């Protein structure tokens, strides 16, 4: 009996010693609790809505009459029900876009819903949406552009104070806000007013009004732009970047925005904003151009699956509803994701690691399969290269491997590989990647095996992982977006001339860059017309294709009245390289479509 007693005491003592092993110290900059909870959302909805919905443009001029905003059946409850059914965790609304029109009765603006025809000027979209989000248990977020093409104070010292009052009213009147969205847009162009924004003041105002809100912008401080609007985070994607203390710079290259910076001084994980349609605002002509299920799955894998949050824009139409085409596609995506990720093929598996921190059960490798977010496997402090093996109960087939780092302690892994066990007992490689972060979903060939090995090849500090899973995706197939040219291909720096064959009344033209802006895009341009192709008459000043660098899609330009001409010439005044890291000006570009709307 005495021997049994001593054995029990010894076992308890060893267990107690094991539980006393210290957790890894945080590495580098780490996220706040709010940033961690923000990334757990994974997938949220953007809603672009405003006067542009009724005019069919992407960037309004600010001179649109307020009465043009008049949705016939606005129902924010419908938006929220669609978002909830789609699996989204929040909605961010364009409460004020660049045109300056406010979707709530902003007391420091005379360009708001209070001046519109909608509900006789007594409506408030922010109020209706915030209430709908609470009803459906969704986060409520606000987009407010600092650029204002209507406010007379814009371009003066007084404007920053006006903008602060705008923020205070929007953020202080509608309950909890989970994300404040700033896109840092600044106009008006080479000859117009341009504002010097007081970003420290703007950010401090948000923190004062909504202490828990994550602030989005190119520089953070809460999260950063992914560097494109095509829905693609980098295969390497760090959650850290380098910025100065007031978050006004330095200017980030698109590469750094897309991939982050290893060892950066600020935690600002990437947010991937992309539209379900070619444009950001609803257009009837785009009802047939809603992204396919395959395309949306690709976006999901290249955003959520690459350590980024997916913010998918689903614009409201002129009724004030999410269009049925968009809603149906979202339900198809939800059904596909549910099917793909319904069954974790590691069920019943055992995990063994080369190294366990202090040989402690608290940090055991089996924690990788535990669904408790705060349980994790960790290695000793001096171990930055190690591996673990997941032994399956029987041979199973998968083509997706999901890994997660415990980001409250920082992002660490910079290179890893995955092997599968062959029937002869040897290992063969099936994937090699770089970063993991909050979540990484690795595409691998369809693989049947009884064991999977993950090799942490490089880590900035001891690896700390809290998730591993295997899935089989029978739905998604890789695809390339078609690029079928329908017109003459020329460098974008050259003038583009269309010959109608005879003098014809035309109402406008369509300019379309090559797919994804390959080769570059025309940004600023001028239009001239001619009856003989020799003598040309300007019919416009220097104009701009709005947002075309970030979203290089076809843009239709309509004249104020019909013009009779045989030749129409588009003269580039400024061209930009959309594929370079910083979108610097360049001289060689491609154009695939240039036609006329008759």
227 contacts 308 by C-beta, under 8 angstroms: no
How far is residue 222's CA from residue 554's CA, in Å, rounded to a whole number? Answer: 32
pLDDT at res. 15? 46
| Residue pLDDT, tens place only, 71-91 | 999 999 999 999 999 999 999
State the virtual CA torsion across 118, 90, 234, 411 in degrees, nearest 10. 150
pLDDT higher than 70, residue 486: no
**Is it true that the peptide bond before 468 is cis, omega within 30 degrees of 0?**
no
Average pLDDT over residues 195-203: 95
pLDDT higher than 50, residue 216: yes
138 contacts 178 by C-beta, under 8 angstroms: no
Look at the block and give the residue holding tokens 């010292």. 157
| Residue pLDDT, tens place only, 137-196 | 999 999 999 999 999 999 998 999 999 999 999 999 999 999 999 988 887 755 577 899
288 or 560, which is more confident?
288
Rg from Cα positions in the chain: 27
282 contacts 318 by C-beta, under 8 angstroms: yes
555 or 23, which is more confident?
23
% of the chain residues with pLDDT over 90: 72
pLDDT higher than 50, residue 594: no
Here the tokens at position 65 are 């009459």
In this prediction, residue 579 has a pLDDT band, given cuts at 50, 70 and 90, of: low
Here the tokens at position 130 are 């915030």
Cα-based angle 499, 500, 505 (whole degrees, multiple of 5): 130
497 or 272, which is more confident?
272
pLDDT at res. 10? 45
Here the tokens at position 541 are 């000043």
Would you call 5 exposed, middle or buried from its count of C-beta atoms within 10 A (0-12, 13-18, 19+)? exposed
pLDDT higher than 70, residue 108: yes
* Dihedral over Cα of 86, 91, 92, 96: its sign: positive
In this prediction, residue 497 has a pLDDT band, given cuts at 50, 70 and 90, of: confident
24 contacts 30 by C-beta, under 8 angstroms: no
Pairing between β-strand 521-530 and β-strand 537-538 as defined by DSSP bridges:
antiparallel
- Torsion angles phi and psi, residue 331, rounded to 5: -70, -35
| Residue pLDDT, tens place only, 250-271 | 888 999 999 999 999 999 999 9
Which among 273, 300, 236, 304 is positioned nearest to 476, based on CA atoms? 300
Question: Whole-structure pTM over 0.75, yes or no?
Answer: yes
578 contacts 515 by C-beta, under 8 angstroms: no
239-243, 246-250, 498-502, range with greatest mean pLDDT:
239-243
- DSSP bridge pairs for 130: none
How far is residue 163's CA from residue 169's CA, in Å, rounded to a whole number? Answer: 10
In this prediction, residue 520 has a pLDDT band, given cuts at 50, 70 and 90, of: confident
Q: Is 578 left (phi over 0), alpha (psi -120 to 50) or beta?
A: alpha
383 contacts 471 by C-beta, under 8 angstroms: no
Average pLDDT over residues 407-434: 97
Average pLDDT over residues 16-26: 79
Give one DSSP letter per residue of 329-361, joined into a string. Answer: HHHHHHHHHHHHHS--TTTT-EEEES--GGG-G
In this prediction, residue 492 has a pLDDT band, given cuts at 50, 70 and 90, of: low
| Residue pLDDT, tens place only, 274-299 | 999 999 999 999 999 999 999 999 99
pLDDT at res. 406? 98
Report helix, strand or coil for 230.
Answer: coil
């Amino acid at each position: 009996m005495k021997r049994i007693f001593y054995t029990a005491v010894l076992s308890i003592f060893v267990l107690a010693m094991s539980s006393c092993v210290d957790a890894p110290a945080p590495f580098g900059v780490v996220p706040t609790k709010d940033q961690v909870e923000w990334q757990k959302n994974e997938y949220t909805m953007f809603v672009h809505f405003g006067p542009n919905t009724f005019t069919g443009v992407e960037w309004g001029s600010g001179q649109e009459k307020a009465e043009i905003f008049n949705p016939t059946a606005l129902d924010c409850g419908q938006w929220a029900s669609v978002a909830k059914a789609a699996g989204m965790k929040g909605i961010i609304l364009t409460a004020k876009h660049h045109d300056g029109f406010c979707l709530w009765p902003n007391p420091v603006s005379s360009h708001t819903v209070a001046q519109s025809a909608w509900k006789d000027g007594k409506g408030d979209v922010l109020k209706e949406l915030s209430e709908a989000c609470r009803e459906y248990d969704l986060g409520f977020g606000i987009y407010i552009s600092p650029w204002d093409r209507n406010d007379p104070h814009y371009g003066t010292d007084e404007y920053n104070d006006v903008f602060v009052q705008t923020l205070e009213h929007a953020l202080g009147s509608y309950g909890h806000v989970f994300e404040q969205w700033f896109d840092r847009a600044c106009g008006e162009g080479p000859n117009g007013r341009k504002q010097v924004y007081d970003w420290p003041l703007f950010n401090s105002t948000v923190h004062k009004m909504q202490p828990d809100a994550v602030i989005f912008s190119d520089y953070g401080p809460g999260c950063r732009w992914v560097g494109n609007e095509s829905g693609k985070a980098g295969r390497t994607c760090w959650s850290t970047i380098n910025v100065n203390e007031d978050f006004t710079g330095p200017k980030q290259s698109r590469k750094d925005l897309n991939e982050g910076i290893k060892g950066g001084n600020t935690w600002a994980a990437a947010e991937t904003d992309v539209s379900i349609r070619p444009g950001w605002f609803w257009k009837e002509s785009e009802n047939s151009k809603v992204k396919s299920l395959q395309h949306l799955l690709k976006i999901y894998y290249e955003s959520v699956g690459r350590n980024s949050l997916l913010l998918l824009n689903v614009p409201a139409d002129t009724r004030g509803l999410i269009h049925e085409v968009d809603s149906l596609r979202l339900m198809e995506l939800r059904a596909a994701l549910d099917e793909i990720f319904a069954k974790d093929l590691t069920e019943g598996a055992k995990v063994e690691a080369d190294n366990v921190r202090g040989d402690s059960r608290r940090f055991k490798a089996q924690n990788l399969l535990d669904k408790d977010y705060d349980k994790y496997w960790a290695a000793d402090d001096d171990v930055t290269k190690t591996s673990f093996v997941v032994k399956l109960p029987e041979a199973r087939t998968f083509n997706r491997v999901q890994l997660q780092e415990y980001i409250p302690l920082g992002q660490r892994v910079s290179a890893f590989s995955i092997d599968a066990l062959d029937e002869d007992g040897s290992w063969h490689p099936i994937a090699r990647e770089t970063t993991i972060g909050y979540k990484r979903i690795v595409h691998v060939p369809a693989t049947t095996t009884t064991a999977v090995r993950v090799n942490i090849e490089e880590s900035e500090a001891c690896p700390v992982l809290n998730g591993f899973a295997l899935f089989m995706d029978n739905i998604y197939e890789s695809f390339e977006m078609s690029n079928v040219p329908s017109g003459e291909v020329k460098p974008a720096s050259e003038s583009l001339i269309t010959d109608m064959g005879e003098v014809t009344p035309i109402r406008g033209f369509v300019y379309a860059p090559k797919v994804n802006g390959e080769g570059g895009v025309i940004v600023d341009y001028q239009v001239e017309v001619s009856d003989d192709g020799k003598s040309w008459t300007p019919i416009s000043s220097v104009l701009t294709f709005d947002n075309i660098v970030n979203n290089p899609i076809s843009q239709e330009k309509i004249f104020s009245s019909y013009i009779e001409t045989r030749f129409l010439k588009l003269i580039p005044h400024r061209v930009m390289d959309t594929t370079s890291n910083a979108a610097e000006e360049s001289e060689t570009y491609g154009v695939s479509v240039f036609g006329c709307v008759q």
